Amino acid sequence: MNELLFASATTIARLIREKELSAEEIVRLLLERIAQVNPRLNAVVQLAEERALAEAKAADRALANGENHGPLHGVPITLKDSIDTAGIITTGGTVGRKAFVPTADATVAARLRRAGAIVMGKTNTPELTLSFETDNEVYGRTNNPYDLSRTSGGSSGGAAAIIAAGGSPLDIGSDTGGSIRVPAHCCGITGIRPTSGRVPRTGHIVPYGLGAIDSLTTLGPMARKVEDLILCLPIISGVDWKDPAIVPMPLADPESVDRKTLRIAFFTDNGIATPTPETIAAVQRTTKVLMSVVATVEEACPSPIMRTPEVFHHLWSTYSYAWRKKTAIEGRHYRSD
């Protein structure tokens, strides 16, 4: 198997920049990989193959002329289907938008494309991103690449599955109550739920302006390598003067952190749901590695964590009905039937 399928976006960007790999070559390779694995995964639900190849050829021509469009110049990516993409059907997993084609990119999509990224297609999400299992009436269920009988998690399950299967190095997920973290865990990749106020949600199916729950939903990168989260987060962060909750929040360089000063607390059982023995063992192995690079590592579970599901339920049940009703009403004009 070609090792480039599992290369990081950072590595792909460097190889293209140094002209050891063309954007067209990597786009073709990943499109072939998607065609190979997607029939069993159902992770990629829309492809923009011709557009991606045209943009790849343009990126190669630009580089040959000494032009570099940014840190992701020529790098192929996918984007969650809850994020608007101009010219590509974006359903948000709901039947009312099954033929909806946005006329403008969401802020995060526009920023990634300006940084040189090439969008190959869209990845599956449960309806309106509201589930920890990725399934909907438009496209159906996304399967776990390690065991097709199991879930890829949700709501960014399509993103996690295709990244884990070597079909895309980078995607953008959304997270309200675990929708980046859960599928990243299920599929064995990395993801980060950024601090609220960093990344604009303009053009996302769960909008800004939701009252007390507004701070819950954030957008963040998903990848196989942590270095790609470091590369991507600064690109998508910052005010867009549309999402009113986003502020000019400084984003420091992770390399500037003195790891020897860090104190880490971990737990293997939060008292709500006990993980599998394999998960507990993986956490324990990780803590042993951390002990050699940070100041202290101790096992401790915050006591208020027991009330987290209860608090989340009360907040979400108070506001989500009105939001879903508003979305359904606005979505009626998207229907093609």
Asked if residue 129 and residue 213 are part of one domain, the reply reads yes
Catalytic residues: 80, 155, 179
Our count of domains for the chain comes to: 2
pLDDT along the chain (337 residues), means of 10: 95 98 98 98 98 98 97 98 98 95 98 98 96 97 98 98 98 95 97 97 91 88 98 98 95 93 93 89 95 95 71 69 63 42
Asked if residue 330 and residue 213 are part of one domain, the reply reads yes
Asked if residue 74 and residue 37 are part of one domain, the reply reads yes
Asked if residue 327 and residue 221 are part of one domain, the reply reads yes
Residue 210 confidence (pLDDT): 80
How far is the first Cα of the chain from the last one, in angstroms, to the nearest whole number? 44
Residue 125 confidence (pLDDT): 98
Asked if residue 39 and residue 112 are part of one domain, the reply reads yes
Asked if residue 165 and residue 279 are part of one domain, the reply reads no
> Which CATH number goes with the domain that contains 31?
3.90.1300.10
Asked if residue 325 and residue 295 are part of one domain, the reply reads no
Asked if residue 201 and residue 132 are part of one domain, the reply reads yes
Asked if residue 295 and residue 314 are part of one domain, the reply reads no
Angle at 21 between CA 111 and CA 58, to 5 degrees: 50
Owning domain of residue 130: 3-255+309-334
Asked if residue 149 and residue 53 are part of one domain, the reply reads yes
Residue 149: cis peptide before it, omega within 30 degrees of 0: no
Residue 334 confidence (pLDDT): 43
Asked if residue 179 and residue 30 are part of one domain, the reply reads yes
Residues present in the chain in total: 337
User: Could you tell me the sign of the dihedral formed by the alpha carbons of 11, 16, 19, 24, in that order?
Assistant: positive
**Residue 56 neighbours by CB under 8 Å, 6+ apart:** 22, 23, 24, 26, 27, 28, 74, 76, 118
334 exposed, middle or buried (CB, 10 Å; 0-12, 13-18, 19+)? Answer: middle
pTM score: 0.93
Asked if residue 199 and residue 87 are part of one domain, the reply reads yes
Distances (CA, A) of 282 to 154, 191, 337: 21, 17, 49
Q: Letter for the amino acid at 318?
A: T
